[in-house]
Each structure stands twice: as structure tokens, then as C-alpha cells.
């Protein structure tokens, strides 16, 4: 069975066959570092980290590159507002980015190239496009000649004539065609600049990714990822630049993640509803945010609100509690071999189901439901009269294997929710009624380890946090 990937280029799922056997070259557009990332920036970070983790799990050697746009209009504006310079703003929010996505369980990329460190390659790229007749200089700017590239619009499935009729014709235009886009922008007075054959200036946004992908991964890569909002014009323009120069497909598979809405509304400046990860994780376990995102297929939109987050927290805790209970039981269980084979087969089937779901275009939503089924089965197993350390260990391995791929950690750093404590106390009462005192004591110890004290009163069991 091969992994199927939905390719925006073909608008269908295709079997994944890497350019080079066993290896995957992957590029994901990173943030413009002029502020803390919002929850919409966190989604591609989490989605493509999961894609990477799964490909690694399936035995591929993945080279993962994600850039930082560390100079552009927004950074220039932010530097002015903060009374500092562009490199200071960039460094500050690059550090913040690493902190935030690390909390969300995102692995480090192999390289995080920055635009300002790729300037010679960018300038060289532009010069070669001019030489090949795909770009022209105009008053210190350089523009890409969109019509010269055959195949413009193939990613966003639009014809160049449709695009042209929608394009604004600007008065006093220094472009030859309204569809042409900037590769190089002449510096305005007082702005940060680099020297180039066309005078002082800085690169346009699209050329950066083309140059960085080429520098770190080569002319043709396996997977290019980013948010759905980047498909047009950003990725369309990346294709035009890269394929005009390199004369090979830029990427074999183009993957795009869906939007995030806040309380059913689009995130926007005017609505002022940007949710910053930096603020969120002060109050909420970042793993819950990741779990919440994993529970939706990456191509579907996500609606973000507090109720849904709370219910994600409850669900995630349920899985963590099952895992903790299994781990705790393991400490007091001996190795009994009687029904091991039957359970091993059962667990193997869960694992195969997980792989089948993830093979199908990284369906993490269904993978999470497999995880729930494992938790449920674990709870059933814990009810059996004798539990075997072999089977408990297999449960633990399976829990850990799957959550590792999803970038989730099951260790119980967070407090248990009240309703989980109530459920455990109920289980302890039942155990005592059934004269299963070992289980009753085990639950008491488990709660004690989490600083929850039980008191047996005439009215029943009461609990308090220590």
C-alpha cells in the first residue's frame, strides 16, 4: 500500500512516489516575522510537521526546509512602530516563533533559511530570469513577465485570460502587463536595502521561496506545502519563476491546508479577532491545541472557539488517562501468557488501521478515532481479573507510537479534570463493591500521585486537591 496525497496540481489523490527512492525533499512556506504567530500560522506548522513525522515513520529520510521572510513592508512598518530596525524585529519574532511552535510539538526544520541570508542566490536567480527573457527591469524594479511562462495558472486552475480580465490596470504603470509581478523592488528613501545590478532594493516575496527551495533542496522537490491562501498568487508565482529558470517541475506534490475561522468568522485585521499562540499557551496546554487541530482533516476548515477547545481537552485527557492507567497497572502486573496472542493480534489491527488512515492523505481525524478505540479497549482490558505485563506493555508501545507520529505527548503534566477524577472515584467504588481491593488501592495511589486526596466519609467518598 502506498501513501496517497491530495495534489492541488491535479486536484486528486495520487500515490506518493518520491523523486529519489527512500528520500523526501520538502519545502513549506514559513512566516513573515513581524509579529507573534496567530493560530492560522500555527496550522501549517502543525500539519506539515505531522506529514513529515508520518513520512519518517514510514521509513523515508525527509529533508525539511521552512523559511523565514525577514524583510518586507510589514517588517519595515513594525520596525518604525517599535522604534528599532528590521533585523532586530526579525530576530525577536524568529525567537518567539521557535518557542511557540516548539510548545506545539513541531520538530525543528533541517534549515530555516532567511531571506537576508539568501540575497546572492536571489539576485542571481533574478539575473538569470532576465537573461532568459522572463523578466525585465523598470525604474529600478524587476518584474516577471507572466505571459512569457507557458502554464501560468496551472496550480490555481485559472486561465491566463481569466486572470487578465480580473487584473487591475494601474495608471502610470511601470509594468508591461498588469499580471507581471515584482521580483525586485527599488528601495524608497530611508528603507533597508541591498545592492544589486538594478540598484539599491530588496526582493519581492515570491522569488525568495523559489531561491531558497533551489538552494537547499535542488531544482525539483517532492512536496511543497503551505496554507490554502498561498496557492494563488504566491505558489503560482513560485512555479512560474522556478520552472522558467530550471525547466523542470518545481514540486511533484503541492499540498495546502485549510483555513481557520474564529467563532465562524474569518480571522481578519478589521474584525480584530487574531488569536496569538503566544497568548493562548499561557492559559491552555499547547498539546490540546495540537490535538484539536489533529482532530480535523488538514484540508478541511477549522472553526476555533472555546467550547470546541474545551471538548478537545476533555477528549485528550480521556486518552491520557487510559494511557496512565495502563502504565500504572504495568507496575503491579506479572507476565501472564494465557491470552497474549489474542490481544497482540487485536493491537496489531489497531496499528494497521492507523496506518491505513494516515496513508489516505494523512487523515489524522480518523487516526485520532483509532486512538480513542485503543483507549476504550485498554479500559476494557484493565477490567479483566488478571492483567498481563506483556499486553500492558504492548498497549503502551502502541499509544506512544501513534501519539509520537501525531506530535502529541501523553505524559500527565496537566492536572486531571474534575470529571475524570469523579469517574476514577466511581470506578474505585465499583471495585470495592466487587471486592477488588487491589484495583481500589491502585486508583487511590494513582490519584495520590497527582496530589488528589480521597476521604471516606459517611456520605461517601470526597476528594480534594492538595
For residue 38, how many other CB atoms are within 10 A of its CB? 20
* Known binding residues for ATP: 269
Residue among 209 and 398 whose Cβ is closer to Zn ion: 209
Residue among 115 and 391 whose Cβ is closer to Zn ion: 115
* Known binding residues for Zn(2+): 29, 209, 234, 238
Residues 349-378 that bind Zn ion (CB under 5 A): none
Instruction: Give min distance, CB of 97 to Zn ion, in A.
Output: 15
Give the pairing of strands 141-144 and 181-186.
antiparallel
Binding mask 161-200 for Zn ion (x = CB under 5 A): ----------------------------------------
Segment near Zn ion (CB under 5 A); pick from 26-34, 47-55, 188-196, 424-432: 26-34
Residue among 29 and 55 whose Cβ is closer to Zn ion: 29
* Known binding residues: 29, 209, 234, 238, 269
Residue among 212 and 391 whose Cβ is closer to Zn ion: 212
Cα 160 from Cα 362, distance rounded (Å): 32
Instruction: Give min distance, CB of 207 to Zn ion, in A.
Output: 10
| Range 332-342 burial, b when 16+ CB lie within 10 A, else e | ebeeeeeeeee
Residue among 9 and 421 whose Cβ is closer to Zn ion: 9
Report yes or no: 2 and 16 within 8 Å, Cβ to Cβ: yes
Instruction: Give min distance, CB of 68 to Zn ion, in A.
Output: 11
Q: What is the dihedral of CA 425, 427, 428, 430, to 10 degrees?
A: 130
Segment near Zn ion (CB under 5 A); pick from 173-181, 203-211, 285-293, 419-427: 203-211
Segment near Zn ion (CB under 5 A); pick from 25-33, 116-124, 277-285, 306-314: 25-33
DSSP code for 318: H
Nearest Cα to Cα of residue 237 among 213, 259, 269: 213
Instruction: Give min distance, CB of 439 to Zn ion, in A.
Output: 55
Segment near Zn ion (CB under 5 A); pick from 22-30, 285-293, 335-343, 346-354: 22-30
Q: What is the dihedral of CA 272, 278, 281, 282, to 10 degrees?
A: -100
Q: Is 207 in the site for Zn ion (CB under 5 A)?
A: no
Residue among 122 and 368 whose Cβ is closer to Zn ion: 122
Opening angle at CA 429, ends 428 and 433, nearest 5: 115
Cα 436 from Cα 324, distance rounded (Å): 19
From its phi and psi, is residue 346 left (phi > 0), alpha (psi between -120 and 50) or beta? alpha
Residue 56 DSSP SS3: helix
> Strand pairing partners for 465?
452
Record the cell numbers describing residue 205, joined without a space.
516575496
The footprint of Zn ion on this chain (CB under 5 A) covers a number of residues equal to 2
Which residue has the CB atom at the shortest distance from Zn ion? Answer: 209
Residue among 251 and 296 whose Cβ is closer to Zn ion: 251
Instruction: Give min distance, CB of 27 to Zn ion, in A.
Output: 8
Instruction: Give min distance, CB of 229 to Zn ion, in A.
Output: 12
Segment near Zn ion (CB under 5 A); pick from 2-10, 202-210, 339-347, 381-389: 202-210
Report yes or no: 226 and 51 within 8 Å, Cβ to Cβ: no
Instruction: Give min distance, CB of 205 to Zn ion, in A.
Output: 8
Report yes or no: 259 and 289 within 8 Å, Cβ to Cβ: no
Instruction: Give min distance, CB of 121 to Zn ion, in A.
Output: 15
E strands present in 56-215: 61-66, 135-138, 141-144, 181-186, 201-203
Segment near Zn ion (CB under 5 A); pick from 186-194, 206-214, 271-279, 429-437: 206-214
Sign of CA dihedral 419, 422, 426, 431: positive
Report yes or no: 166 and 178 within 8 Å, Cβ to Cβ: no
Sole binder of Zn ion in the list 209, 211, 217, 355 (CB under 5 A) = 209
Residue among 118 and 317 whose Cβ is closer to Zn ion: 118
Residue among 223 and 370 whose Cβ is closer to Zn ion: 223
Instruction: Give min distance, CB of 238 to Zn ion, in A.
Output: 6
Q: Is 29 in the site for Zn ion (CB under 5 A)?
A: yes
Segment near Zn ion (CB under 5 A); pick from 28-36, 383-391, 394-402, 424-432: 28-36
Q: Which helix (H) or strand (E) holds 449?
A: helix 437-449
Residues of this chain that interact with Zn ion (CB under 5 A) are 29, 209
Amino acid at each position: 500500500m502506498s501513501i496517497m496525497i491530495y495534489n492541488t496540481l491535479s486536484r486528486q489523490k495520487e500515490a506518493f512516489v518520491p523523486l529519489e527512492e527512500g528520500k523526501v525533499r520538502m519545502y513549506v512556506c514559513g512566516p513573515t516575522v513581524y509579529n507573534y504567530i496567530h493560530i492560522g500560522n500555527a496550522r501549517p506548522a502543525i500539519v506539515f510537521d505531522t506529514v513529515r513525522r508520518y513520512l519518517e515513520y514510514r521509513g523515508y529520510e525527509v529533508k525539511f526546509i521552512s523559511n523565514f521572510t525577514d524583510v518586507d513592508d510589514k517588517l519595515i512598518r513594525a520596525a518604525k512602530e517599535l522604534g528599532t530596525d528590521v533585523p532586530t524585529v526579525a530576530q525577536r519574532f524568529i525567537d518567539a516563533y521557535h518557542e511557540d511552535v516548539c510548545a506545539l510539538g513541531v520538530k525543528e526544520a533541517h534549515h530555516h533559511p532567511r531571506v537576508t541570508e539568501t540575497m546572492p542566490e536571489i539576485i542571481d536567480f533574478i539575473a538569470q530570469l532576465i537573461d532568459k527573457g522572463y523578466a525585465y527591469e523598470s525604474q529600478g524594479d524587476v518584474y516577471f513577465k507572466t505571459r512569457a511562462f507557458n502554464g501560468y495558472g496551472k496550480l490555481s486552475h485559472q486561465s491566463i485570460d481569466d486572470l487578465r480580465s480580473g487584473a487591475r490596470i494601474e495608471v502610470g504603470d511601470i509594468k508591461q502587463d498588469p499580471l507581471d509581478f515584482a521580483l525586485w523592488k527599488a528601495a524608497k528613501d530611508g528603507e533597508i536595502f541591498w545592492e544589486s545590478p538594478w540598484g539599491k532594493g530588496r526582493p519581492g516575496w515570491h522569488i525568495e521561496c523559489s531561491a531558497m527551495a533551489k538552494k537547499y533542496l535542488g531544482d525539483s522537490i517532492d512536496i511543497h506545502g503551505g496554507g490554502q491562501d498561498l496557492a494563488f498568487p504566491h505558489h503560482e508565482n513560485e512555479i512560474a519563476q522556478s520552472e522558467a529558470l530550471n525547466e523542470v517541475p518545481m514540486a511533484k506534490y503541492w499540498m495546502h491546508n485549510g483555513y481557520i475561522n474564529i467563532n465562524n468568522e474569518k480571522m481578519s485585521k478589521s474584525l480584530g479577532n487574531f488569536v496569538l499562540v503566544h497568548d493562548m499557551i499561557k492559559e491552555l496546554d499547547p498539546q490540546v491545541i495540537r490535538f484539536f487541530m489533529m482532530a480535523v482533516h488538514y484540508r478541511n476548515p477549522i472553526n476555533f472557539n472555546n467550547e470546541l477547545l474545551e471538548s478537545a481537552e476533555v477528549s485528550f485527557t480521556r486518552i491520557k488517562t487510559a494511557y496512565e492507567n495502563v502504565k500504572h497497572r504495568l507496575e503491579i502486573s506479572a507476565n501472564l501468557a494465557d491470552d497474549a496472542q489474542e490481544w497482540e493480534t487485536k493491537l496489531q489491527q489497531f496499528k494497521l488501521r492507523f496506518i491505513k488512515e494516515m496513508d489516505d492523505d494523512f487523515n489524522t481525524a480518523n487516526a485520532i478515532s483509532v486512538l480513542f478505540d485503543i483507549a476504550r479497549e485498554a479500559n476494557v482490558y484493565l477490567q479483566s481479573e488478571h492483567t498481563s505485563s506483556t499486553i500492558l506493555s504492548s498497549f503502551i508501545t502502541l499509544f506512544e507510537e501513534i501519539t509520537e507520529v501525531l506530535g502529541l505527548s501523553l505524559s500527565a503534566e496537566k492536572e486531571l479534570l474534575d470529571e475524570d477524577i469523579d469517574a476514577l472515584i466511581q470506578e474505585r467504588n465499583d471495585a470495592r463493591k466487587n471486592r477488588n481491593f487491589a484495583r481500589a488501592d491502585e486508583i487511590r495511589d494513582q490519584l495520590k500521585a497527582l496530589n488528589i486526596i480521597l476521604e471516606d466519609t459517611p456520605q461517601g467518598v470526597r476528594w480534594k486537591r492538595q
